[in-house]
Structure 1
Amino acid sequence: MKRILTSLTAFVMLFANIAVAKNQLLPLEAFASIPDVSHVTMSPNGKLIASLVRLNTDKQQGAIINILDIDTRESIFPVQTDNEKFVILSMSWASDDLLLVEAKFPAVRYGTPTTETRIITYSVSKKKISNLLSRFGLKKFKWMPQIQSNIIDYLPNDEKHILLGINGLGNKPQYESVIQVNLNNGNVRFKQPAESNITDWVTDRQNRIRVGIYRKDTQYRIYEQADAHKDRRLLWEFEAFEEDQVWPMGFAEDKDILYVQAYHEGYEAIFKVNLQDPKLTKELVFSKEFSDVNGSLIYSKLKKKVIGIDDGDESEYTFWDKEYIGLANGLNKALPDYRNYITQFSENERRYIVYSTNAKEAGIYFFGDRDAGQLLPIAYRYKQLSPDVLADTEILTYQARDGLDIQAFLTTPKGQEAKNLPTIIFPHGGPISYDSNSFDYWTQFFANRGYAVLRMNFRGSAGYGYDFMKAGLKNWGLDMQNDVEDGTRWLIERGTADPNKICIVGASYGGYAALMGVATTKDLYQCAVSVAGVTDIEYLVKSSRRYTNFEIVKKQIGDDYDALYDRSPLSKAKDINVPVLLIHGDKDRVVRVQHSEDMFDELEDLNKPVEYIELENGDHYLSNNKHRINTFMAIEAFLQKNLL
C-alpha cells in the first residue's frame, strides 16, 4: 500500500491547501444544487468510467452523462436532461461498448398519476443512442409497459442480450414476464411467461430463471423452479411485516445454494440455504449485533463465488474472502477517517471504484488500479463543500417517554459552543427509513447558517430490528410523533436548543411530522416547514386504491379512516398558531400535490400564517436543480424571518 499512501498524501496536502477558513458562510448553491457528480460506473474492461455530471451554464441546466477514457483522459458527453422531462436514475454497462441508462418521467394512466421508467442505450463505438426496446419489439405487447427497467440478469457471458422483467405480455399481461432483449436491435423473445401474482423473478449464476416472488394482498410466497416453464414448488410463505419473512438475494455458483435475508435473534441477517435440503435449513452467513443487515451480495466473476455483502450505504463493504479483506483493510488504513465503499470491480478485478465519505466529507470517487498500485481521486460529489468548514455530528441516545432508547444525530455550527442555539428539528422521511452519521446536505446547510440540527430515528425506523420496525406500524401521529417531541424537549433540557428559537422541518413523512408537531404541541416550536409532506393520512391511504400495493399500505399505515383523518395535520389546522411554509412539486408521484394545496387552503381560510410554493413540473425528490435551489432559498428566508 506504500504507493497508494504516497498518492493519497499528495492529494490530502493539495486539498488542505485549498481549504477555506473556519466559519465561512458558503453559497446556498453549494448545498442546494444536485450533486456535481453521481452514478459513477466502470466498464467491464476497466477502461471507461461513466458518470452523471451536473450541467450548469447560462443556457442549460440539468445533468449530462460523461464517459471518461481512463487511459487517454478524453471524455465524451452523449446524453443530457433538464431533469424535468425525465430524470436519470442509474447507469450500468452491458458490455465494454454499451452503456444502459435508466430514466423516469411522470405520466397519467386512466386518470391515475404514475411514474414511468425506460432504458436507453449508448454505443461508444457507434456513437449511437437508442431505446432498449424497439418499436418492433413493443408491438408484441398488449399495452405500453409502465416499468421497463427491471433488469433480471445482465447475462455476463452474452454481450448481445439481457433479461428483463416486464408486464403487458402473454395471457396474464398484468403480471411480470421475463423477456430476452437483443441489445443490438431491441427485439424481444419470451423466456418466462407471467404467472398470477408473481411480481419478480430471480436467476441463478447459470442464468436460469429459478425463483419467483409472489404477492397477493399482504401475503408473500417464494417459489422455486428448475428453469423457465418448469414446475414450481413452494419454499416459504409469510405475511408482510412479519418476523418469519425470507427474502431471496441470489445464488452461489452452485445452483442449489440460495442466499436469503431473514431475521436472526430479532435482526435481519444473511443466510444460505441448500435447496436440496427438505428442511430448507438456514445457515447463518453474516449478522451484526443489535443491527439489521441490508444490502446486496458481492459476487466475484473471477473466483465464481460470493465474496461478501454490501451491507447498506452507511458502512463499508464486508468481505469474506481473504484477498478482498486485505484490499479493504488497506483502503481503510490509507483513508482512516472515511467510510470507504468499493462500489465496483472491473471484470478481471484489478481495477475498481471507491466512494469515500463521512459526516463532513460530501463524497470523493477514487479510481483504483491494483497492478499499478494507484488510488487516484477522480471526482468530488459536491466540489464546493470542503470538510474544513462543515460541522461535526455527534451520535447520541435519548429516552422516549415510555423508556425506549432513540438514537439521534446532533450537528452544531462550526466554531460555536453547543449551548442555547437556534435549532432545527429534522425528522426523516419514509417513515421506514433511517438517519445516520453520514453526510447530509440539508443538515450541513442548516449548520452553516448557524442552526443546531437534531435528527432522530424514531420508532418504525429501519435498521434497529423487528420489534423496533413493527412499533411504527399504524403509528403515525402516536408514539412515533411522541419520539420526535421527546427529542426536542431533551435537547432543550441539555441546554443545546434555545427554547424560543426552534423550527421543525421535514420532507415527505418528515413534513407530516413537522406539521403534526406544531398542531399538537403548544409553544414548543416557533415555526414549521413541510416539503412534499403528507397532510391527510386518510387521503394518502385511499389514493392507493388503484395501485397494487393498496393492502400493504393499509397494513403499514392503517384503514380506520376516521382515526387516520383525526391524526392528520389537515384536521388540526385550527390548532396551528405559528408560521408554516409548504413546498410541493406538482408532478409528485409519491405524495400528491393535493396534500399541500388542501393544507394551504385550510390554513389560509383560518387566517393562519402560511406560505405555499408549488414547483412546476417538480417531483418528490427535488431532482431539478432550480427547484432545489428555490426550495432552499425559501427555507432560508423563512427561518431568518421566524427564528433569528
Structure 2
Amino acid sequence: MRKTLLTTTAAAFALLCACDQAPQSSSNAPAPAPTASPAPAAAPEVKPALELIDRAAIFGNPTKTSARISPDGKTLAWLAPKDGVMNIWVAPIDDLAAAKAITDEKIRPIRQMFFSPDSSMVLFINDSGGDENFLLYGAPVAGGEVKNFTPFKKTRVQIIGASEADKEHILVGLNNRNESYHDVHLLNLTTGELKLVYENNEFGGFVADDSLTLRLAFKELPGGGQDVLRFDNGKTSPFATIPAEDSITTNLEGFTTDGKTLYWLDSRGRDKAAAIAQDMATGETTLLGEFAKGDVQGLITNPVTGIAEGFGANYLKQEWFPVGDAIKADLAFLNTEIKGQYGIVSRDDADTKWILQVDETTKPVAFWLYDRTAKKLSQLFVTRPELEGKTLASMCGIEINARDGLTLTAFLTLPPGSDADNNCRPDSPVPMILNVHGGPWAQDVFGYDSEAQWAANRGYATLQVNYRGSTGFGKAFVEAATREFAGKMHEDLIDAVNWAIAEKIAPADKIAIYGGSYGGYATLVGMTFTPTTFACGVDIVGPSNLVTLIESFPAYWQPFLEGTWYRRVGDPRKPEDREFLLSRSPLSKAADIQRPLLIAQGANDPRVTKKESDQIVAEMQAKNIPVTYVLYADEGHGFARPENRISFYAVSEAFLSKCLGGRFEPVGDDFKGANVTVPAGSAFVPGLEEALKTVTP
C-alpha cells in the first residue's frame, strides 16, 4: 500500500514582528585609543554588535522547500514562490536548472503535495482564506490545466489510500453530503470521475489495502475508546478495540502491499507505543521495535512492498532504527555522514534515490539527494540561503523536574554570544520567552526553529517545554494531563519558569509567555491565573472560553471528540463539566489581567473561532484593561500568507521590545500587502498606528 505524504490538517504558523523605531542594540562604538602614556593600557575588547537579521529572511517565503521525488525517479518537485505565492515547481532530477512552475496560485500558498502513483501529476490540497475546507487538485508534471478533483462547497477532503497495483485511482473521503462524516469515493485521476464506494454515516475513518479495498473502519465508543472493525462490502465484524487511555498513543499505520500484514504504533498493554506487525490471517502480533524513553513515532516503509524497514523516535533528538537488514547499512551511513538530524521524506519505487530533509539547528534546513547505489549524498537546495553565513543560535535539550516529580523535556535557545563556555547557561541572565506549543497533543522537538532564532537574534532566550499531555513520551504522560487544562499543565510551565530563574537563565521580571492555539490558551491562562508571573503575553489564535471553544468545533471533528476533548478536557453537554470548563477558562478571570497582552486572530479560523478572541478583548475593554488585538481577514488557524505573517512578527517584535527591552527591526514597509486590522489597542505598541497607515483598505 503506497503511503502518501499528504495530510489534511493545516499547519498552524506562529508569528512575530517589529516596529519603526531604531533598533536597540549593544554598543558598536570603536574601542578607545590607547592614552599617550609611557605604559599605555590595552584597549578593552569590544565585541561587534550581532547583526540584526531581517524578519523577512526568517519568516518570509522560503526560496525552495518540501522536495519530493516521483515514483519513477525521474522528476523532482518542490514548493517555491511564483509572483510571491508558494507554488509547485518540477524539474528532471538530473537537470534542476530546467525547473518550471506547474501551478499558478495567486492568493493562497500551497503547503502540502505528493506525486500521483504513476508520476504524471502532482496532487495538492488548498483551502480558502484559512477555512480548512481543503479541496484536492492535480497539476500535470508536463504542464497544462490544473484540475480541481473535488469542486464542492464546505467540503474537506481526506486521502484514504493510493495503490501500487492501480496507479490511475486513489481513494478519497468527502463530507459534502454529511458534514460530520466522509463518504468514500474512488477518484479516477485521468478523467476526474468520482465513484461512490461507501456512504458513511457512522465511521470516523478507514484503512484500505493496495487494491483500494476498504479493510478496516474506526468507530468511537462512549467514553472515548475506539472499535476497529473489519470492513467487508459495507458489513462489519469485530477486529480490535483501542481503550480510551490509548486513543492518542495508538494508531494504525497501514497494510503491506500484499495485504497480509497490518502495522500498528501501539501502546496497548504497555506505556510507550511500540512498532507492531499483525498477521491478518492469524491475528498474531510481532514486536518490530520499541524505544525506552518514549513512543515509537513513525515507520519507514518500503515504497513498493510497504514492508517496515525502520522506525523513528524523538526524545531529546530525532533517532532512526532499522527493522531487519534492508536499510540498516543506509541508516548507518547517513548517521555517520550527515551533520545534524535528518528525515527521509521521499523514495522512488526503484529505491535507489532518497530525498532527505537535513536539519543542523544552526543552519537553515536543506534538502539532499541520497544515491543508494553510489552511497553518495548531494545537496539539492537550502530552504533559506539568505540565512547562510548568519550567526544563528544553538539549541540545548534539557530535562526539568515538575513539582510532582514528572520529568519534562525542554529546549533552550540562547542569544549568540551570551554563553561563552557553551554550558547551556548564559553568562548573565537574559530576557526570556516561554514559547508554548499548540495541540496540546503535540511535541516540541530539537532542531532549527524560526521563532527561537528570531528571538535569539533580538536578544531573548527561548524556552520550549513539553508539558504533560505532550505526545511522544508514553501513555502515562498524556494521561497525566487529563482534565488539567489551567491545572497541572500550567503548573508544569510555571515550574519551568522557576527552573529558568533558579538557573540564572532569565531575570524573574523579564519573562514573556507566548504561543499559538493551545499555546495561546496557555498565554491567556498565564495572564489570568498567574497574573504577576509574566512580564507580558502574546496569544495567537488561543481559546478564551473552553465551553464556547468545544461547542464551536467543526462538524467533522465530532467522530473523535469523545476520546479527546470530552474525556481529556471536559464535556460541555454535562452541567457539572460545563461549570468546570468555565472555571478553567481565562475569560472567567479576565478582570485579573495586570500585564500587557497582544492577541492575534485569523477571522476564518474553524478550530478556534474569532469569537474566542473577540470575547476576551471585549471583557478587557469593559474593565478598562489595555489590550492590543490584531485581526487578519483572510487567515484561519495561523497565518499562511507571508505578507500577513511578516506584519504580525513586526507587531510582536515591537510589543516584546517594549516589554522585555530587546532589539527590534523598524517596520518599514512590512505591512505592505497585509490584510490586517487592529480593532483594539494600536496605541499600546510603538509604531503600530503609523504602520497601519500603509495598509490598503
C-alpha displacement of 1:614: 0.7
Instruction: Tell me what 2:468 maps to.
Output: 459
Report the Cα offset of residue 162 of structure 1: 1.9
1:319 and 2:331 correspond: no
State the partner residue of 1:360: 362
Asked if structure 2 preserves the Cα contact closer than 8 Å seen for 1:357 and 1:363, the reply is yes
Deviations 1:271-295 (A, max 9, x none): 1122333xx3432111100201122
Q: How does 1:94-173 map to 2 (within 5 A)?
A: 94-105=117-128, 115-125=132-142, 127-133=144-150, 146-148=155-157, 150-167=158-175
Q: Give the match's secondary structure for 1:158.
A: coil
Q: Is the 8 A contact 2:255 2:306 kept in 1?
A: no
Q: What residue in structure 2 maps to residue 411 of structure 1?
A: 413
Q: 1:229 aligned to 230, 233, 241, which one?
A: 233
CA-to-aligned-CA distance 1:353-381 (integer Å, 9 cap, x gap):
11110332331101233345542211222
8 Å CA contact 1:160, 1:182 repeated in 2? yes
Task: Map 1:311-460 onto structure 2 (within 5 A).
Answer: 315-335=318-338, 337-371=339-373, 373-386=375-388, 389-417=391-419, 418=426, 419-460=428-469
8 Å CA contact retained: 1:249, 1:297: no
- Match of 1:514, SS state, is helix
The residue number in structure 2 matching 1:252 is 256
Normalized per residue, the structure richer in strand is 1
Instruction: Indicate the SS of the match to 2:630.
Output: strand
Q: 2-side partners of 1:83 and 1:454: how far apart?
A: 34
Query: How does 1:148-227 map onto structure 2 within 5 Å?
Result: 148=157, 150-167=158-175, 175-190=181-196, 192-215=197-220, 218-225=224-231
Corresponding position: 1:294 with 2:303: no
Decide which moves more: 498-507 or 365-374.
Answer: 365-374
Higher relative contact order (CA 8 A, sep 6+): 2
Alpha-carbon distance between aligned partners in 2 of 1:634 and 1:304, rounded to the nearest angstrom = 47
User: What does residue 616 of structure 1 align with?
Assistant: 633
2:525 alignment partner, one of 505, 516, 528: 516
Match of 1:502 in 2: 511
Q: Which runs of 5+ in 2 are unaligned?
A: 1-47, 420-425, 572-576, 662-697
Cα deviation code 1:552-591 (max 9, x no counterpart): 4222211312222222221112111111111111111221
TM-score when scaled to structure 2? 0.80
Bigger drift between 554-563 and 435-444 goes to 554-563
Q: Indicate if the aligned counterparts of 1:166 and 1:179 stay in contact, CA closer than 8 A.
A: yes
Picking from 485, 488, 492, the partner of 2:494 is 485
| Letter of the 2:260 counterpart | D
Does the CA contact (< 8 Å) of 2:432 and 2:512 recur in 1? yes
Query: Match for residue 6 of structure 1?
Result: none
Q: Which SS does the other structure have where 2:387 is aligned?
A: coil
Native 8 Å contact 1:311 1:317 kept in 2: yes
Equivalent position SS for 2:617: helix
**Amino acid of the structure 1 residue aligned with 2:169:** H
**Match in the other structure for 2:102:** 78
Alignment partners' CA distance in 2, 1:231 and 1:614 = 48
TM-score, normalized by length of structure 1?
Answer: 0.86
- Identify which of 275, 282, 285 aligns with 1:270: 275
Residue 638 to residue 270, structure 1, CA distance change in 2 (3 Å)? same
Tell me the equivalent position of 1:26. 53
| CA 429–500 in structure 1, closer or farther in 2 if over 3 Å, else same | same
CA 1:272–1:597: 2 relative to 1, 3 Å = same
Contact 1:87–1:105 at 8 Å: present in 2 too? Answer: no
How much identity, in percent, do the aligned residues show? 25
Moved more, 578-587 or 157-166: 157-166
Letter in 2 for 1:639: L
The CA distance in 2 between the partners of 1:499 and 1:28, in whole Å, is 28
The verdict on how the C-alpha distance between 1:157 and 1:270 changes in structure 2, with shifts beyond 3 A counting, is same
Letter in 2 for 1:76: K
Partners of 1:513 and 1:629 lie apart in 2 by: 23
8 Å contact kept, 2:249–2:474: no
Q: Report the RMSD for the aligned CA atoms in angstroms.
A: 2.6
Q: Structure 1's 464 and 372: CA in aligned 2 closer, same or farther, altered over 3 A?
A: closer
CA contact (8 A) 2:250 2:273 kept: no
Question: Which residue in the other structure is 1:11 paired with?
Answer: none
Instruction: Give the paired residue count.
Output: 595
Cα deviation for residue 442 of structure 1 reads: 0.8
2:643 and 2:154 mapped to 1: Cα distance? 31
The more displaced of 622-631 and 369-378 is: 369-378
Unaligned runs of 5+ in 1: 1-20, 108-113, 136-142
**Residues 296, 312 of structure 2: 8 Å contact kept:** no
1:533 and 1:300 map into 2 onto residues whose CA distance is 39
Matched with 1:554 is 566
Indicate conservation of the 8 Å contact 2:352/2:373, yes or no: yes
**Amino acid corresponding to residue 192 of structure 2 in structure 1:** G
Distance in 2 (alpha carbons) for counterparts of 1:189 and 1:633: 48
CA 247–618 in structure 1, closer or farther in 2 if over 3 Å, else same: closer
